[in-house]
A = this chain, B = another copy of it.
Amino acid sequence: MRSLADYERRAKDHFAPDAWDHVQSGADAGLTLGHNRAQFDALRFMPRMLRDLTGGTTALDLLGHRHAAPILLAPVAYHRLAHPAGEVASIRAATALDTTMVVSTLASITLEEIADCARGAAHELARDLSPLWFQLYFQPDRAHSLELVRRAEAAGYQVLMVTVDAAIKRSEFALPAGVSAANLAAFPRTIQRAQAAGGQIVFGTPLADAAPTWDDIAWLRGQTQLPIVIKGLLSPEDAREAALQGVDGIVVSNHGGRVLDGLITPMAALPAMVAALEGKVPLLLDGGVRRGTDVLKALALGASAVLVGRPQLHALAVAGMPGVAHMLHMLRAEFELAMAQAGCRELSQIGAGLLA
């Protein structure tokens, strides 16, 4: 286990085949999935040598909180697909490594239990609690969305990440017994696969009609004081609109290549978004981050931080809580090493000049 890829290789044997396929797969032909990795490999560093590295640090202030490193765990549904302990194991590991894990609406354990667990772990390990983030999927019924927000506020979550790129998504994966969307247990299963009029297949169905719009963002902005981070934008126009709507952060993401195959990669989209936002709103990025050098490249192009998705489940499946901690340790070690080798002592030194 010398890199995240080693966990990935071994993880396959720890999943049921259809769950593994569900976790790993990309939409359609998986082009975007592949491009997400390739986007990093295509960039080259122009390093600086012989610079003073004493007092170096990877620390980051983001939305009013300090993070030990510019690396977060992306919201990923149903951790119990990977390990019976599910999100509880993952958040303990994240806490041990001073890392924020964004808790998904579709967590297989309730958001309250996960938050409690994080606090417990911080206490046990006698360290500060990393900021708690909750990822919201809009529910067909606004009352339900609001209920989730209120529960997250009550449970001590400090940031709300609203994922907007996966409202309309095909999936043929059926959850195994014992794994379910714990946060949604009380809501009726609202979206039926109703037949649309005139031979249409998507348009005209409740799925399309209930998909969130900018109106929903405006509404949500009016409902909560928590910082709102929109996850899943790729176009500079959308970035500008988000800024206008008072959004506090954006995750540049194509949902790990799981939704629309052929999407631009986050790294390709990032520069225009940076330009469009003029620094008003911090940009995070995910999709294919597997190496410390990937993190460095994303920051060099203007991201404030990155998130990692699938590797959480790989490490969790292979080795439970310690696996996730080890995975995070390796990624952070690689990132520190890459910074040092490239001549950067702090995040502010990482800029476009670092890329050839």
Contacts and interface: CB of A to CB of B under 8 A. Distances in A.
A47 B98 CA distance: 34
Contacts of A172: 2
Nearest to A59: B198
A220 B355 CA distance: 30
Given A43-B262, A262-B297, A49 B232 contact: yes
How many copies of the chain does the oligomer comprise? 4
Given A57-B200, A198-B68, A203-B56, A217 B50 contact: yes
A208 B49 contact: no
Interface in A180-234: 198-204, 208-209, 211-214, 216-217, 232-234
Given A48-B238, A164-B49, A261 B293 contact: yes
B260 A204 contact: no
Nearest to A235: B46
A208 B341 CA distance: 9
Interface in A37-83: 41, 43-58, 68
A3 interface: yes
Interface of A: 2-3, 5, 28-29, 31, 35, 41, 43-58, 68, 97-98, 164-165, 168-170, 172, 198-204, 208-209, 211-214, 216-217, 232-235, 237-238, 241, 259-265, 268-269, 291, 293, 297, 329, 332-334, 336-342, 345, 356
